[in-house]
Amino acid sequence: MAQNLEDKCTITIPGNKKPAPAEYFAQMASWCEAHNIQHDVYGDGELIQSFEQKVADLLGFEAGLFVITGTMTQATVLELICKQKNNPLVGMHESSHITRFERQGYQLQDRFNVVPLGNRYRPWTCDDLKAWPDELAAVLYELPMRELGGQLPTWEELTSIKQHCKQEEIYLHMDGARVWETEAYYQKDLSEIADGFDSAYVSLYKGINGLGGSLLLGSKALIELASMWMKRQGGNVYHRSPYVVSAAMQFDQRLQQMPKLFERTQQVYEVIKDYPQLTLNPTQPQSNMLHLIFPVSCERLEELRVRLAEEKGVYIGRPQMMEHPSMSKIEWYVGDNLLSLSDSQLREVLNWLIEKMNNA
């Protein structure tokens, strides 16, 4: 339903532009021809191995490994660390992808046990970590935290967490699905942001806009061990090249665009200030994503977004429930679409929504 609704619209607000398959594959074919790209065979090939190392170097890790999904990446790494330490306890925020969107796979497969860190409405802190009474084998930090509207810990707080984990020999893993979006806020290089983490997962399709796939980054020893376990789980895809090509052909351009996206996010915040009925989380931009909060139920917002799409050809995203039944939210990733949408066009959409909410 949601995808069909978006396909009918001429304007989409959240996310990056999505070329039709024929156009996208044609772009990939042209890039492959221009760069004389050959298929890998089970991950062995010049393109994939050079790209794995390129991203590892960018974040300051020894090696990288393509993995077909982030779900396979993160659960495998954390399980391996827990086995090495003979300790099943992993700390993470309760909004983490592992606990929210992976059908409790870590638990049903008896891979490790999750303990919640911090308050559900804000990034967890070093004090939250210290307050947990049990010894933890590992902790996961998501940078930025999607379910909190793209919030990030302060640089000082993140540094404290890194130092504490090193001192207490707690393995620190980064869920960096959207780590590309953190440089503009921290004003730090990716390698400095990743410094202190023992490993990281990065997505090749979220901010990068590739077809799919992920990379695990870490020490050579970790990558060698993880590679064997990915094969054992059925992750040994014959050709990774379609996924790698789709990411590699636009990787540099996407990273170069991130400061512009953060700047556009700041501009969007200024526009929304003129609509006191609407609320933003976080209150100030920390990455190029946000949660736009509406003073209506999720059911009412669903009615409005369908009507907006049908009458105006504008897709605003998917409504989500909130704790209060008379409030709801929509996640906006500030990408190509909002970058090309003018302030006046955005105001037209917001004016329409406010008018219809007031006339309810």
What is the reported pLDDT for 4?
86
- In angstroms, the CA 116 to CA 170 distance is 15
What is the reported pLDDT for 360?
64
Q: What are the pLDDT digits (tens) for 293-329?
A: 999 999 999 999 999 999 999 999 999 999 999 999 9
User: DSSP string spanning 165-221?
Assistant: HHHHT-EEEEEETTGGGGHHHHT--HHHHHTT-SEEEEESSSTT--SS-EEEEE-HH
Buried b (16+ CB within 10 A) or exposed e, 288-299: bbbbbbbebbbe
Closest CA to 194 of 215, 167, 225: 215
- In angstroms, the CA 274 to CA 168 distance is 48
What type of residue is 274? D
What is the reported pLDDT for 249?
98
Q: What are the pLDDT digits (tens) for 174-207?
A: 999 999 999 999 999 999 999 999 999 999 999 9
What is the reported pLDDT for 359?
87
pLDDT of 2 strictly over 80:
no
What is the reported pLDDT for 129?
98
Q: What are the pLDDT digits (tens) for 102-118?
A: 999 999 999 999 999 99
pLDDT of 1 strictly over 60:
no
What is the reported pLDDT for 32?
98
Query: 0.85 cut: is pTM over it?
Result: yes
Helix (H, G, I), strand (E, B) or coil at 242: helix
% pLDDT > 70, the chain: 99
